[in-house]
Chains A and B, each alone.
Chain A
Amino acid sequence: MSSRSLWDNFFRQRDDRGDVTTALARVPVFKNLNRGELALVRKMIHLRQYQSGEVVFAEGQPGTGMYVTVSGRVNVVLNYRQPDEIVLAHLGAGDFFGEMSLLDESPRSALAVATEPAELAGFFRSDLFDLIEKNPRTGNKILLGLAEVLGARLRATNSELRRLSGPGGSPSGRQAGDLALRV
Protein backbone atom coordinates (compact mmCIF):
# COMPACT_ATOMS: atom_id res chain seq x y z
CA MET A 1 0.00 0.00 0.00
CA SER A 2 1.37 3.43 -0.85
CA SER A 3 1.26 6.48 1.38
CA ARG A 4 -0.71 8.25 -1.37
CA SER A 5 -3.92 6.51 -0.38
CA LEU A 6 -4.30 8.66 2.74
CA TRP A 7 -4.31 11.88 0.73
CA ASP A 8 -6.26 10.45 -2.13
CA ASN A 9 -9.00 9.25 0.19
CA PHE A 10 -9.11 12.40 2.30
CA PHE A 11 -9.03 15.03 -0.41
CA ARG A 12 -10.56 13.15 -3.29
CA GLN A 13 -12.88 15.25 -5.41
CA ARG A 14 -14.72 13.14 -7.91
CA ASP A 15 -17.62 13.43 -10.22
CA ASP A 16 -18.67 9.80 -10.15
CA ARG A 17 -22.08 9.93 -8.47
CA GLY A 18 -23.67 8.42 -11.56
CA ASP A 19 -21.23 5.49 -11.76
CA VAL A 20 -21.48 4.65 -8.08
CA THR A 21 -25.27 4.96 -7.90
CA THR A 22 -25.56 2.78 -10.99
CA ALA A 23 -23.30 0.17 -9.39
CA LEU A 24 -25.36 0.28 -6.18
CA ALA A 25 -28.66 -0.03 -8.08
CA ARG A 26 -27.41 -3.31 -9.61
CA VAL A 27 -26.75 -4.88 -6.20
CA PRO A 28 -29.63 -7.19 -5.12
CA VAL A 29 -29.33 -5.97 -1.51
CA PHE A 30 -30.38 -2.49 -2.70
CA LYS A 31 -32.81 -3.58 -5.42
CA ASN A 32 -35.92 -2.52 -3.46
CA LEU A 33 -34.73 1.07 -3.06
CA ASN A 34 -36.12 3.94 -5.10
CA ARG A 35 -33.93 6.69 -6.56
CA GLY A 36 -34.12 8.91 -3.47
CA GLU A 37 -33.25 6.04 -1.15
CA LEU A 38 -30.32 5.04 -3.38
CA ALA A 39 -29.07 8.63 -3.19
CA LEU A 40 -29.27 8.38 0.60
CA VAL A 41 -27.23 5.16 0.59
CA ARG A 42 -24.79 6.78 -1.86
CA LYS A 43 -24.16 9.50 0.74
CA MET A 44 -23.43 6.89 3.43
CA ILE A 45 -21.08 4.56 1.58
CA HIS A 46 -17.29 4.81 1.79
CA LEU A 47 -15.44 4.90 -1.53
CA ARG A 48 -12.00 3.32 -1.36
CA GLN A 49 -9.28 2.93 -3.98
CA TYR A 50 -7.23 -0.29 -4.09
CA GLN A 51 -4.12 -1.04 -6.09
CA SER A 52 -3.56 -4.28 -7.93
CA GLY A 53 -2.63 -6.99 -5.39
CA GLU A 54 -3.88 -5.00 -2.41
CA VAL A 55 -5.88 -7.06 0.10
CA VAL A 56 -9.35 -5.64 0.85
CA PHE A 57 -9.90 -7.87 3.86
CA ALA A 58 -8.25 -11.00 5.16
CA GLU A 59 -9.65 -14.41 6.04
CA GLY A 60 -10.43 -14.50 9.77
CA GLN A 61 -10.60 -10.71 10.12
CA PRO A 62 -13.71 -9.50 12.02
CA GLY A 63 -16.31 -8.62 9.41
CA THR A 64 -17.75 -5.11 9.45
CA GLY A 65 -19.65 -4.83 6.19
CA MET A 66 -19.99 -5.43 2.46
CA TYR A 67 -18.28 -4.02 -0.61
CA VAL A 68 -19.60 -3.26 -4.07
CA THR A 69 -17.10 -3.22 -6.95
CA VAL A 70 -17.54 0.10 -8.74
CA SER A 71 -14.63 -0.48 -11.12
CA GLY A 72 -11.72 -2.91 -11.46
CA ARG A 73 -11.62 -6.56 -10.48
CA VAL A 74 -11.48 -8.39 -7.15
CA ASN A 75 -10.86 -12.06 -6.38
CA VAL A 76 -12.33 -13.85 -3.37
CA VAL A 77 -9.77 -16.42 -2.29
CA LEU A 78 -9.28 -19.19 0.26
CA ASN A 79 -5.74 -20.01 1.51
CA TYR A 80 -4.27 -16.99 -0.30
CA ARG A 81 -0.74 -17.57 -1.65
CA GLN A 82 -0.70 -21.07 -0.19
CA PRO A 83 -0.11 -24.19 -2.30
CA ASP A 84 -3.79 -25.11 -1.85
CA GLU A 85 -5.12 -21.64 -2.81
CA ILE A 86 -8.68 -21.71 -4.15
CA VAL A 87 -10.21 -18.75 -6.00
CA LEU A 88 -13.88 -18.77 -5.08
CA ALA A 89 -14.98 -15.89 -7.29
CA HIS A 90 -13.73 -13.34 -9.85
CA LEU A 91 -15.72 -10.16 -9.30
CA GLY A 92 -16.10 -7.18 -11.61
CA ALA A 93 -18.00 -3.88 -11.70
CA GLY A 94 -21.44 -4.16 -10.06
CA ASP A 95 -20.57 -7.34 -8.11
CA PHE A 96 -20.70 -7.36 -4.33
CA PHE A 97 -19.13 -9.40 -1.54
CA GLY A 98 -18.96 -9.60 2.29
CA GLU A 99 -22.69 -9.03 2.76
CA MET A 100 -22.90 -11.59 5.62
CA SER A 101 -20.92 -9.13 7.75
CA LEU A 102 -23.83 -6.70 7.71
CA LEU A 103 -25.56 -9.08 10.12
CA ASP A 104 -22.86 -10.04 12.58
CA GLU A 105 -19.20 -9.58 13.43
CA SER A 106 -18.17 -13.15 12.67
CA PRO A 107 -14.74 -13.57 11.05
CA ARG A 108 -14.44 -13.23 7.26
CA SER A 109 -14.61 -16.70 5.70
CA ALA A 110 -12.34 -15.79 2.77
CA LEU A 111 -9.86 -13.15 1.63
CA ALA A 112 -10.66 -10.48 -0.97
CA VAL A 113 -7.84 -9.05 -3.09
CA ALA A 114 -7.87 -6.53 -5.94
CA THR A 115 -6.41 -8.08 -9.09
CA GLU A 116 -6.27 -4.73 -10.90
CA PRO A 117 -6.69 -1.13 -9.67
CA ALA A 118 -10.19 -1.10 -8.24
CA GLU A 119 -12.66 1.27 -6.68
CA LEU A 120 -14.91 -0.27 -4.07
CA ALA A 121 -17.94 1.15 -2.29
CA GLY A 122 -18.08 -0.05 1.32
CA PHE A 123 -21.41 -0.25 3.13
CA PHE A 124 -20.94 -1.22 6.76
CA ARG A 125 -22.96 -2.49 9.68
CA SER A 126 -22.63 0.88 11.44
CA ASP A 127 -24.09 2.57 8.33
CA LEU A 128 -26.95 0.07 8.24
CA PHE A 129 -27.75 0.61 11.95
CA ASP A 130 -27.60 4.35 11.43
CA LEU A 131 -29.98 4.05 8.51
CA ILE A 132 -32.37 1.79 10.45
CA GLU A 133 -32.45 4.39 13.24
CA LYS A 134 -32.88 7.47 11.09
CA ASN A 135 -34.76 6.06 8.13
CA PRO A 136 -36.35 2.75 9.15
CA ARG A 137 -38.26 2.34 5.89
CA THR A 138 -35.06 2.37 3.82
CA GLY A 139 -33.27 0.25 6.43
CA ASN A 140 -36.03 -2.37 6.30
CA LYS A 141 -35.89 -2.47 2.51
CA ILE A 142 -32.15 -3.17 2.69
CA LEU A 143 -32.69 -5.87 5.33
CA LEU A 144 -35.35 -7.44 3.10
CA GLY A 145 -32.93 -7.35 0.14
CA LEU A 146 -30.24 -8.89 2.32
CA ALA A 147 -32.62 -11.63 3.49
CA GLU A 148 -33.52 -12.39 -0.14
CA VAL A 149 -29.84 -12.66 -1.11
CA LEU A 150 -29.08 -14.96 1.84
CA GLY A 151 -32.23 -17.01 1.14
CA ALA A 152 -31.16 -17.46 -2.50
CA ARG A 153 -27.68 -18.49 -1.36
CA LEU A 154 -29.18 -21.02 1.07
CA ARG A 155 -31.42 -22.48 -1.62
CA ALA A 156 -28.45 -22.76 -3.98
CA THR A 157 -26.41 -24.47 -1.27
CA ASN A 158 -29.25 -26.90 -0.50
CA SER A 159 -29.59 -27.68 -4.16
CA GLU A 160 -25.86 -28.31 -4.48
CA LEU A 161 -25.89 -30.55 -1.40
CA ARG A 162 -28.87 -32.45 -2.79
CA ARG A 163 -26.94 -32.96 -6.02
CA LEU A 164 -23.90 -34.17 -4.08
CA SER A 165 -25.97 -36.57 -1.98
CA GLY A 166 -27.65 -37.96 -5.10
CA PRO A 167 -26.62 -41.10 -7.00
CA GLY A 168 -23.89 -39.27 -8.99
CA GLY A 169 -22.18 -37.72 -5.95
CA SER A 170 -19.06 -38.93 -4.16
CA PRO A 171 -19.46 -40.88 -0.85
CA SER A 172 -18.16 -37.97 1.21
CA GLY A 173 -20.41 -35.56 -0.73
CA ARG A 174 -23.40 -37.81 -0.11
CA GLN A 175 -22.55 -37.97 3.58
CA ALA A 176 -22.28 -34.15 3.82
CA GLY A 177 -25.45 -33.68 1.78
CA ASP A 178 -27.46 -36.13 3.91
CA LEU A 179 -26.26 -34.43 7.07
CA ALA A 180 -27.09 -30.93 5.79
CA LEU A 181 -30.54 -31.93 4.58
CA ARG A 182 -31.36 -33.43 7.99
CA VAL A 183 -30.39 -30.16 9.79
Chain B
Amino acid sequence: MSRAPRSLLPWLKSGIVVVLAAVFLYIVSVPALFLPFIAAIVLDSALAPFVSALERRDWLHRHAVMVVFLGFAAALALFLAVVPRFAAAEAATIKTMWPESRPRLTALLQDTEAVVNRWLPEGGRLDLVSGVPDRAQAWALSAIAAAPASMPDVLMALFLVPLFTFFLMRDGPELKRAIVASVPNRYFEMALSILYKVNRQVSNYLRGLLAEAGFDTFIASSLCAAFGVPNPLLIGILVGTTAVIPLAGVVFASIAGPLIAVFSTTGDPVTTAGLTLLAIVITHTLDNVLVAPLVIGHSVDMHPIVVIVSVLVAGRLFGVLGIVLAVPVTSIVTVIAQEGYRGLKANEYFLKHT
Protein backbone atom coordinates (compact mmCIF):
# COMPACT_ATOMS: atom_id res chain seq x y z
CA MET B 1 0.00 0.00 0.00
CA SER B 2 1.43 3.40 -0.92
CA ARG B 3 1.92 5.91 1.87
CA ALA B 4 0.39 9.39 1.83
CA PRO B 5 2.80 12.16 0.79
CA ARG B 6 4.37 13.84 3.82
CA SER B 7 2.71 17.24 3.02
CA LEU B 8 -0.74 15.65 3.21
CA LEU B 9 -0.21 14.00 6.61
CA PRO B 10 -1.18 17.01 8.79
CA TRP B 11 -4.43 17.33 6.81
CA LEU B 12 -5.07 13.61 7.10
CA LYS B 13 -4.45 13.66 10.86
CA SER B 14 -6.66 16.71 11.36
CA GLY B 15 -9.37 15.06 9.27
CA ILE B 16 -9.31 11.90 11.39
CA VAL B 17 -9.60 13.90 14.62
CA VAL B 18 -12.48 16.00 13.20
CA VAL B 19 -14.33 12.83 12.09
CA LEU B 20 -13.80 11.19 15.52
CA ALA B 21 -15.04 14.34 17.28
CA ALA B 22 -18.09 14.49 14.98
CA VAL B 23 -18.91 10.81 15.67
CA PHE B 24 -18.61 11.41 19.43
CA LEU B 25 -20.85 14.50 19.30
CA TYR B 26 -23.38 12.61 17.18
CA ILE B 27 -23.47 9.74 19.72
CA VAL B 28 -23.94 12.18 22.61
CA SER B 29 -26.71 14.10 20.83
CA VAL B 30 -28.80 11.03 19.88
CA PRO B 31 -30.45 9.37 22.90
CA ALA B 32 -30.86 6.07 21.01
CA LEU B 33 -27.05 5.94 20.77
CA PHE B 34 -26.09 7.75 23.97
CA LEU B 35 -28.06 5.51 26.35
CA PRO B 36 -26.60 2.25 24.92
CA PHE B 37 -23.17 3.91 25.15
CA ILE B 38 -23.73 4.64 28.87
CA ALA B 39 -25.05 1.10 29.41
CA ALA B 40 -21.96 -0.28 27.65
CA ILE B 41 -19.68 1.73 29.98
CA VAL B 42 -21.54 0.26 32.99
CA LEU B 43 -21.25 -3.29 31.60
CA ASP B 44 -17.59 -2.80 30.71
CA SER B 45 -16.92 -1.79 34.34
CA ALA B 46 -18.92 -4.76 35.62
CA LEU B 47 -17.16 -7.30 33.40
CA ALA B 48 -13.62 -5.90 33.81
CA PRO B 49 -12.85 -7.96 36.97
CA PHE B 50 -13.66 -11.19 35.11
CA VAL B 51 -11.29 -10.22 32.28
CA SER B 52 -8.61 -9.35 34.87
CA ALA B 53 -9.14 -12.70 36.60
CA LEU B 54 -8.44 -14.55 33.33
CA GLU B 55 -5.46 -12.31 32.57
CA ARG B 56 -4.05 -13.23 35.99
CA ARG B 57 -4.05 -16.82 34.69
CA ASP B 58 -1.83 -15.71 31.80
CA TRP B 59 -4.64 -15.41 29.24
CA LEU B 60 -4.12 -12.92 26.44
CA HIS B 61 -6.32 -9.84 26.77
CA ARG B 62 -8.28 -10.48 23.55
CA HIS B 63 -8.92 -14.13 24.47
CA ALA B 64 -10.06 -13.17 27.99
CA VAL B 65 -12.37 -10.51 26.53
CA MET B 66 -13.85 -12.95 24.04
CA VAL B 67 -14.57 -15.62 26.67
CA VAL B 68 -16.05 -13.16 29.17
CA PHE B 69 -18.13 -11.50 26.47
CA LEU B 70 -19.51 -14.84 25.24
CA GLY B 71 -20.36 -15.78 28.84
CA PHE B 72 -22.12 -12.44 29.29
CA ALA B 73 -24.01 -12.88 25.99
CA ALA B 74 -25.18 -16.35 27.07
CA ALA B 75 -26.32 -15.02 30.47
CA LEU B 76 -28.11 -12.10 28.76
CA ALA B 77 -29.87 -14.47 26.34
CA LEU B 78 -31.00 -16.67 29.23
CA PHE B 79 -32.18 -13.62 31.16
CA LEU B 80 -34.12 -12.28 28.17
CA ALA B 81 -35.66 -15.70 27.54
CA VAL B 82 -36.90 -16.15 31.11
CA VAL B 83 -37.40 -12.90 33.02
CA PRO B 84 -39.50 -10.80 30.58
CA ARG B 85 -41.94 -13.72 30.16
CA PHE B 86 -42.54 -13.99 33.92
CA ALA B 87 -42.60 -10.22 34.38
CA ALA B 88 -45.09 -9.83 31.51
CA ALA B 89 -47.30 -12.53 33.02
CA GLU B 90 -47.24 -10.72 36.36
CA ALA B 91 -47.99 -7.39 34.66
CA ALA B 92 -50.95 -9.01 32.87
CA THR B 93 -52.49 -9.99 36.22
CA ILE B 94 -52.55 -6.31 37.22
CA LYS B 95 -54.50 -5.47 34.06
CA THR B 96 -56.89 -8.39 34.57
CA MET B 97 -57.54 -7.60 38.20
CA TRP B 98 -57.81 -3.83 37.80
CA PRO B 99 -61.66 -3.73 37.92
CA GLU B 100 -61.58 -5.66 41.23
CA SER B 101 -58.55 -3.95 42.67
CA ARG B 102 -59.67 -0.39 41.98
CA PRO B 103 -62.20 -0.31 44.90
CA ARG B 104 -59.62 -1.99 47.16
CA LEU B 105 -57.04 0.67 46.22
CA THR B 106 -59.61 3.39 46.93
CA ALA B 107 -60.37 1.81 50.34
CA LEU B 108 -56.65 1.60 51.17
CA LEU B 109 -56.13 5.22 50.20
CA GLN B 110 -59.15 6.26 52.29
CA ASP B 111 -57.74 4.43 55.34
CA THR B 112 -54.28 5.94 54.79
CA GLU B 113 -55.74 9.39 54.29
CA ALA B 114 -57.73 9.10 57.52
CA VAL B 115 -54.68 8.00 59.54
CA VAL B 116 -52.36 10.64 58.09
CA ASN B 117 -54.84 13.52 58.30
CA ARG B 118 -55.43 12.81 61.99
CA TRP B 119 -51.91 14.20 62.56
CA LEU B 120 -52.06 17.09 60.10
CA PRO B 121 -53.46 20.59 60.71
CA GLU B 122 -56.79 21.60 59.14
CA GLY B 123 -55.32 23.56 56.20
CA GLY B 124 -52.66 21.03 55.20
CA ARG B 125 -54.62 17.79 55.01
CA LEU B 126 -54.00 15.28 52.24
CA ASP B 127 -56.52 14.32 49.57
CA LEU B 128 -55.37 10.91 48.39
CA VAL B 129 -58.67 9.43 47.30
CA SER B 130 -60.04 11.88 44.75
CA GLY B 131 -58.14 11.50 41.52
CA VAL B 132 -55.35 9.08 42.55
CA PRO B 133 -56.93 5.85 41.16
CA ASP B 134 -57.86 7.72 37.95
CA ARG B 135 -54.35 9.12 37.61
CA ALA B 136 -52.83 5.66 38.24
CA GLN B 137 -55.10 4.15 35.57
CA ALA B 138 -54.25 6.92 33.08
CA TRP B 139 -50.53 6.52 33.78
CA ALA B 140 -50.67 2.74 33.31
CA LEU B 141 -52.68 3.03 30.08
CA SER B 142 -50.32 5.66 28.64
CA ALA B 143 -47.32 3.48 29.54
CA ILE B 144 -48.90 0.48 27.78
CA ALA B 145 -49.80 2.64 24.76
CA ALA B 146 -46.27 4.02 24.54
CA ALA B 147 -44.62 0.59 24.69
CA PRO B 148 -44.92 -0.33 20.95
CA ALA B 149 -43.51 3.07 19.94
CA SER B 150 -40.38 2.46 21.99
CA MET B 151 -39.83 -1.05 20.57
CA PRO B 152 -37.43 0.07 17.76
CA ASP B 153 -35.27 1.85 20.37
CA VAL B 154 -35.33 -1.26 22.59
CA LEU B 155 -34.33 -3.53 19.69
CA MET B 156 -31.63 -1.06 18.65
CA ALA B 157 -30.34 -1.01 22.24
CA LEU B 158 -30.30 -4.84 22.36
CA PHE B 159 -28.01 -4.74 19.33
CA LEU B 160 -25.90 -1.70 20.24
CA VAL B 161 -25.26 -2.36 23.93
CA PRO B 162 -23.43 -5.70 23.39
CA LEU B 163 -21.59 -4.23 20.37
CA PHE B 164 -20.37 -1.14 22.27
CA THR B 165 -19.57 -3.29 25.32
CA PHE B 166 -17.42 -5.69 23.30
CA PHE B 167 -15.36 -2.93 21.70
CA LEU B 168 -14.97 -1.05 25.00
CA MET B 169 -13.76 -4.26 26.68
CA ARG B 170 -11.39 -5.11 23.82
CA ASP B 171 -10.03 -1.68 22.90
CA GLY B 172 -10.70 0.34 26.08
CA PRO B 173 -7.11 0.14 27.39
CA GLU B 174 -5.68 1.13 23.99
CA LEU B 175 -8.21 3.95 23.71
CA LYS B 176 -7.15 5.32 27.09
CA ARG B 177 -3.48 5.11 26.07
CA ALA B 178 -4.27 6.96 22.85
CA ILE B 179 -6.03 9.70 24.80
CA VAL B 180 -3.07 10.09 27.18
CA ALA B 181 -0.60 9.97 24.27
CA SER B 182 -2.35 12.91 22.63
CA VAL B 183 -1.73 15.18 25.64
CA PRO B 184 1.28 17.54 25.42
CA ASN B 185 4.24 16.66 27.67
CA ARG B 186 3.53 19.48 30.12
CA TYR B 187 0.10 18.11 31.05
CA PHE B 188 0.84 14.45 30.44
CA GLU B 189 1.35 13.29 34.05
CA MET B 190 -1.70 15.28 35.19
CA ALA B 191 -3.84 13.71 32.44
CA LEU B 192 -2.61 10.23 33.30
CA SER B 193 -3.39 10.74 36.97
CA ILE B 194 -6.88 12.12 36.21
CA LEU B 195 -7.71 9.28 33.83
CA TYR B 196 -6.54 6.62 36.28
CA LYS B 197 -8.45 8.07 39.26
CA VAL B 198 -11.62 8.74 37.26
CA ASN B 199 -11.52 5.25 35.78
CA ARG B 200 -11.00 3.65 39.19
CA GLN B 201 -13.72 5.66 40.97
CA VAL B 202 -16.33 5.40 38.24
CA SER B 203 -15.66 1.69 37.59
CA ASN B 204 -15.96 0.85 41.29
CA TYR B 205 -19.13 2.90 41.61
CA LEU B 206 -20.85 1.49 38.52
CA ARG B 207 -19.83 -2.06 39.39
CA GLY B 208 -21.17 -1.55 42.91
CA LEU B 209 -24.39 -0.08 41.58
CA LEU B 210 -24.97 -3.04 39.29
CA ALA B 211 -24.26 -5.50 42.12
CA GLU B 212 -26.60 -3.53 44.37
CA ALA B 213 -29.40 -3.63 41.77
CA GLY B 214 -29.00 -7.39 41.31
CA PHE B 215 -28.89 -8.03 45.06
CA ASP B 216 -31.97 -5.89 45.73
CA THR B 217 -33.93 -7.55 42.92
CA PHE B 218 -33.14 -11.03 44.23
CA ILE B 219 -33.78 -10.27 47.93
CA ALA B 220 -36.97 -8.24 47.37
CA SER B 221 -38.40 -10.88 45.01
CA SER B 222 -37.55 -13.69 47.43
CA LEU B 223 -38.99 -11.88 50.44
CA CYS B 224 -42.20 -10.93 48.60
CA ALA B 225 -42.60 -14.55 47.45
CA ALA B 226 -41.96 -15.80 50.99
CA PHE B 227 -44.52 -13.34 52.42
CA GLY B 228 -47.11 -14.43 49.81
CA VAL B 229 -47.18 -10.99 48.17
CA PRO B 230 -48.49 -11.16 44.57
CA ASN B 231 -46.19 -10.23 41.63
CA PRO B 232 -42.95 -10.77 43.57
CA LEU B 233 -40.73 -10.62 40.46
CA LEU B 234 -42.21 -7.35 39.24
CA ILE B 235 -41.80 -5.78 42.69
CA GLY B 236 -38.24 -7.16 42.93
CA ILE B 237 -37.32 -5.65 39.54
CA LEU B 238 -38.87 -2.35 40.63
CA VAL B 239 -36.85 -2.34 43.89
CA GLY B 240 -33.64 -3.36 42.06
CA THR B 241 -33.89 -0.81 39.26
CA THR B 242 -34.83 2.05 41.58
CA ALA B 243 -31.86 1.19 43.82
CA VAL B 244 -29.59 2.83 41.22
CA ILE B 245 -31.33 6.17 41.87
CA PRO B 246 -29.66 7.75 44.89
CA LEU B 247 -32.01 8.77 47.75
CA ALA B 248 -35.24 9.05 45.72
CA GLY B 249 -35.12 5.43 44.52
CA VAL B 250 -36.04 3.88 47.86
CA VAL B 251 -38.90 6.35 48.35
CA PHE B 252 -40.30 5.60 44.89
CA ALA B 253 -40.02 1.82 45.43
CA SER B 254 -41.69 2.10 48.86
CA ILE B 255 -44.72 3.78 47.27
CA ALA B 256 -44.95 1.96 43.92
CA GLY B 257 -44.17 -1.53 45.32
CA PRO B 258 -47.14 -1.74 47.72
CA LEU B 259 -49.39 -0.22 45.03
CA ILE B 260 -48.44 -3.00 42.55
CA ALA B 261 -49.17 -5.59 45.24
CA VAL B 262 -52.53 -4.04 46.13
CA PHE B 263 -53.52 -3.88 42.44
CA SER B 264 -53.30 -7.66 42.12
CA THR B 265 -54.14 -9.10 45.52
CA THR B 266 -57.33 -10.86 46.46
CA GLY B 267 -56.54 -10.61 50.15
CA ASP B 268 -56.62 -7.74 52.61
CA PRO B 269 -55.02 -4.69 50.89
CA VAL B 270 -53.63 -3.21 54.13
CA THR B 271 -51.86 -6.47 55.06
CA THR B 272 -50.55 -6.90 51.49
CA ALA B 273 -49.25 -3.33 51.36
CA GLY B 274 -47.69 -3.73 54.82
CA LEU B 275 -45.92 -6.98 53.90
CA THR B 276 -44.61 -5.48 50.64
CA LEU B 277 -43.31 -2.45 52.51
CA LEU B 278 -41.69 -4.76 55.08
CA ALA B 279 -39.96 -6.71 52.28
CA ILE B 280 -38.67 -3.46 50.75
CA VAL B 281 -37.46 -2.13 54.12
CA ILE B 282 -35.64 -5.42 54.90
CA THR B 283 -34.07 -5.40 51.41
CA HIS B 284 -32.78 -1.85 51.78
CA THR B 285 -31.56 -2.53 55.33
CA LEU B 286 -29.59 -5.57 54.12
CA ASP B 287 -28.37 -3.53 51.17
CA ASN B 288 -27.13 -0.73 53.45
CA VAL B 289 -25.53 -3.13 55.92
CA LEU B 290 -24.05 -5.75 53.59
CA VAL B 291 -23.81 -4.54 50.01
CA ALA B 292 -23.20 -0.79 50.01
CA PRO B 293 -20.18 -0.84 52.36
CA LEU B 294 -18.63 -3.82 50.54
CA VAL B 295 -19.19 -3.05 46.88
CA ILE B 296 -19.59 0.72 46.83
CA GLY B 297 -17.74 1.64 50.02
CA HIS B 298 -15.84 4.85 49.66
CA SER B 299 -15.45 4.43 45.91
CA VAL B 300 -16.61 7.97 45.22
CA ASP B 301 -15.72 9.47 48.61
CA MET B 302 -18.35 12.22 48.51
CA HIS B 303 -20.09 14.01 51.35
CA PRO B 304 -23.84 13.18 51.62
CA ILE B 305 -24.71 16.89 51.18
CA VAL B 306 -22.77 16.94 47.90
CA VAL B 307 -24.65 13.80 46.79
CA ILE B 308 -28.03 15.37 47.60
CA VAL B 309 -27.25 18.66 45.85
CA SER B 310 -25.78 16.94 42.77
CA VAL B 311 -28.80 14.61 42.50
CA LEU B 312 -31.26 17.50 42.81
CA VAL B 313 -29.46 19.68 40.28
CA ALA B 314 -28.88 16.83 37.78
CA GLY B 315 -32.48 15.67 38.15
CA ARG B 316 -33.72 19.17 37.48
CA LEU B 317 -31.51 19.58 34.41
CA PHE B 318 -31.43 16.10 32.84
CA GLY B 319 -34.33 14.12 34.34
CA VAL B 320 -34.06 10.46 35.42
CA LEU B 321 -30.79 9.86 33.54
CA GLY B 322 -29.34 12.89 35.31
CA ILE B 323 -30.36 11.48 38.71
CA VAL B 324 -28.74 8.10 37.96
CA LEU B 325 -25.52 9.64 36.61
CA ALA B 326 -25.30 12.52 39.12
CA VAL B 327 -22.96 10.77 41.57
CA PRO B 328 -20.38 9.39 39.09
CA VAL B 329 -20.37 12.62 37.06
CA THR B 330 -19.90 14.75 40.20
CA SER B 331 -17.14 12.38 41.24
CA ILE B 332 -15.43 12.83 37.85
CA VAL B 333 -15.73 16.61 38.06
CA THR B 334 -14.28 16.54 41.60
CA VAL B 335 -11.28 14.44 40.54
CA ILE B 336 -10.62 16.65 37.50
CA ALA B 337 -10.86 19.80 39.66
CA GLN B 338 -8.53 18.40 42.37
CA GLU B 339 -5.95 16.94 40.01
CA GLY B 340 -6.22 19.88 37.61
CA TYR B 341 -5.57 22.33 40.45
CA ARG B 342 -2.56 20.35 41.66
CA GLY B 343 -1.24 19.97 38.13
CA LEU B 344 -1.69 23.63 37.27
CA LYS B 345 -0.01 24.68 40.53
CA ALA B 346 2.95 22.53 39.51
CA ASN B 347 2.82 24.06 36.03
CA GLU B 348 3.44 27.51 37.49
CA TYR B 349 6.94 26.18 37.97
CA PHE B 350 7.06 25.04 34.34
CA LEU B 351 5.86 28.42 33.15
CA LYS B 352 8.47 30.20 35.24
CA HIS B 353 11.36 28.04 34.10
CA THR B 354 10.65 26.97 30.53
Binding site for B on A (CB under 8 A): 1, 3, 5-7, 9-12, 46, 48-50, 53-62, 64-65, 80-81, 111, 122, 124-126, 133-136
Q: Which candidate, B232-240, B265-273, B346-354, is the interface stretch facing chain A?
A: B346-354
Q: For residues 145 through 186 of chain B, which have their beta carbon under 8 Å from a beta carbon of chain A?
A: 177-178, 180-186
Which of B52, B56, B181, B192 lies in contact with A10, CB distance below 8 A? Answer: B181
Determine how close the nearest CB of chain B comes to the CB of A34; give it in whole angstroms. Answer: 13
B79: Cβ under 8 A from any A Cβ: no
Q: A46-B177, A134-B52 are in contact. Are A54 and B354 (CB under 8 A)?
A: yes
Interface SS of chain A: helix, strand, loop or mixed?
mixed
* Tally of contacts, chain A with chain B, CB under 8 A: 83
CA distance A1 to B187 in the complex (A): 11
* Pairs A-B, 8 closest by C-beta atoms: A61-B346, A126-B196, A58-B349, A10-B182, A134-B55, A9-B181, A64-B189, A55-B354
- CB-based contact A111/B353 at 8 Å: yes
Which of A1, A60, A111 lies in contact with B186, CB distance below 8 A? Answer: A1
B13: Cβ under 8 A from any A Cβ: yes
Q: A46-B180, A62-B342, A64-B193 are in contact. Are A54 and B349 (CB under 8 A)?
A: no
CA distance A56 to B196 in the complex (A): 20
- CB-based contact A135/B353 at 8 Å: no
Which of B52, B185, B354 lies in contact with A53, CB distance below 8 A? Answer: B354
- CB-based contact B196/A11 at 8 Å: no
Residue-by-residue, is B179-214 near A (CB-CB < 8 Å gives 1, otherwise 0)? 011111110110011011000000000000000000
Residues of B within 8 A of A46 (CB): 177, 180-181, 188, 192
Most B C-beta atoms less than 10 A away, residue of A111, A126, A133: A126
B10: Cβ under 8 A from any A Cβ: yes
Query: Can you spell out 6 A-B residue pairs with CB atoms less than 8 angstroms apart?
Result: A9-B182, A12-B181, A58-B353, A61-B349, A111-B349, A134-B52
- CB-based contact B349/A60 at 8 Å: yes
Which of B177, B184, B188, B346 lies in contact with A58, CB distance below 8 A? Answer: B346
Known: A9-B182, A126-B195. 19 other contacts (CB 8 A): A1-B186, A1-B354, A3-B184, A5-B185, A6-B184, A9-B183, A48-B185, A53-B354, A55-B186, A58-B350, A58-B353, A62-B189, A64-B192, A65-B189, A81-B353, A111-B349, A126-B192, A134-B56, A135-B56
